[in-house]
Amino acid sequence: MRAALYRQTGPAEVLNVEDLELPDPDPGEVRVRLHVSGVNPADAKRRGGWARITLDLPYLVPHDDGAGVVDAIGAVEDEHLIGRRVWVYDARVGRQHGTAAEWVTVPRYRVELLPDHVDFATGASLGAPARTAHRCLFSDGPIDGAAVLVAGAAGSVGHSAVQQARAAGAALVIGTVGRPEHHDVAKAAGCGVVLDYRGNELVDTILDLTEGRGVDRIVEVDLAANMDLDCRVGGLNSTISVYGTDTNHKPEVPLWRLLNHSVNLRNILLYNLPYDEHRQAADDITRWVGDGALTPRIGARFSLDEIVSSHRAIENRASDGNVVIDLPLA
């Protein structure tokens, strides 16, 4: 099979496409003939050696997310999966081979059925972005009737969070964006109100929109930049769910302000996700993507031979939407 891999961390140019032996699934695993691989910021950061990540293997096939068809099984009890369309998550976690390849073997519990009418690019865009958005929104319970603030509402996680919040019955979804062209993207996703995150009157505007109560959930992509805003607009017993921040800045946490409103500061990292929380997220995501309530926005598509360009697109934020790699059948 053809696969993209790297033998040392570094710039995107360390990636090469090579021929590898077709893997066979062990007991408890399934093999998926991938049609699309999803590229996420974490994939590029890990390949680049972010936070002093080192490579302790001879090589690594990157990417956690993908979608395709199960074509081999490691245990007879999984025979019903042969020929089924699936979306794959965490394929690379703790393993040498991720989804930047024509085939991948993964533990049985790391595949979810993909509705027949949903395309593979959509399926490859669910693992990291949609599950992150789900846990940001629902780790502290239902949001029916809630007011939700989504930072970076046009990004892959933010866009998914907006759609999921609407699907789950949020009364008001406020999104912030940084570029004029993203206003319509966030609005189309389901934001009732879209604001420029650099606005001088953000706090007053958000409090006015919520009649002074503040919001119930905040989906936060950059805590260092937005800590003060989040503390001022978080309502009583609200949650600030953080899935990212600018690594060059350390947020100052105004603890007493959080305590006075019993605001929960929750950190979301998928690699630490208990399986029962994944199960809740996957069930909701699969249902919503099946009925059209959740439609990831595909921003750029590449071939496997364009793996370097795909990682550059992620690093340079050159694509509005999810970045995917097509792996067509020979």
Whether residue 147 is found in the same domain as residue 173? yes
Binning the chain into helix, strand and coil, the percentages to the nearest 5 are 35, 25, 40
DSSP-based three-state secondary structure for 70: strand
CATH number of the domain bearing residue 251: 3.40.50.720
Whether residue 115 is found in the same domain as residue 141? no
8 Å CB contact between 97 and 91 = yes
Whether residue 26 is found in the same domain as residue 82? yes
Whether residue 48 is found in the same domain as residue 90? yes
281 part of a folded domain: no
Mean pLDDT of 16-33: 97
Residue 248 has pLDDT above 90, yes or no: no
69 part of a folded domain: yes
Residue 276 has pLDDT above 70, yes or no: yes
> Using one digit for the tens of pLDDT, what is the confidence trace for 185-228?
999 999 999 999 998 899 999 999 999 999 999 999 999 999 99
**Which domain, by its residues, includes 102?**
2-126+296-326
Q: pLDDT higher for 307 or 255? A: 307
DSSP 60: B
In whole angstroms, give the CA distance from residue 309 to residue 299: 13
Residue 232 has pLDDT above 80, yes or no: yes
115 part of a folded domain: yes
Per-residue burial over 188-212, b = 16 or more CB atoms within 10 Å of its CB, e = otherwise: ebbbbebbebeeeebeeebbebbee
Phi (first) and psi of residue 6, to 5 degrees: -140, 150
Q: How confident is the model at residue 319 (pLDDT cuts 50, 70, 90)?
A: confident
289 part of a folded domain: no
Q: Count structural domains, the chain.
A: 2
Q: According to the model, what pLDDT value does residue 24 have?
A: 97
Q: How confident is the model at residue 242 (pLDDT cuts 50, 70, 90)?
A: very high
Whether residue 108 is found in the same domain as residue 163? no
Mean pLDDT of 154-158: 96
143 part of a folded domain: yes
Whether residue 115 is found in the same domain as residue 24? yes
Whether residue 213 is found in the same domain as residue 321? no
Q: According to the model, what pLDDT value does residue 252 have?
A: 82
Mean pLDDT of the residues in the chain = 95
Whether residue 11 is found in the same domain as residue 87? yes
Q: Is the entire prediction scored with pTM above 0.85?
A: yes
Whether residue 118 is found in the same domain as residue 151? no
277 part of a folded domain: no
282 part of a folded domain: no
Whether residue 213 is found in the same domain as residue 239? yes
In whole angstroms, give the CA distance from residue 253 to residue 265: 10
Q: According to the model, what pLDDT value does residue 231 have?
A: 94
8 Å CB contact between 278 and 130 = no
Residue 247 has pLDDT above 70, yes or no: no
Q: According to the model, what pLDDT value does residue 51 have?
A: 80
Whether residue 116 is found in the same domain as residue 12? yes
Mean pLDDT of 274-297: 97
67 part of a folded domain: yes
> Using one digit for the tens of pLDDT, what is the confidence trace for 61-70?
999 999 999 9
Evaluated on CA atoms 43, 48, 52, 58, the torsion sign reads positive
Residue 124 has pLDDT above 90, yes or no: yes
Range in 103-117, 149-163, 246-260, 299-313 the model is least confident about: 246-260
CATH number of the domain bearing residue 306: 3.90.180.10
Whether residue 313 is found in the same domain as residue 187? no
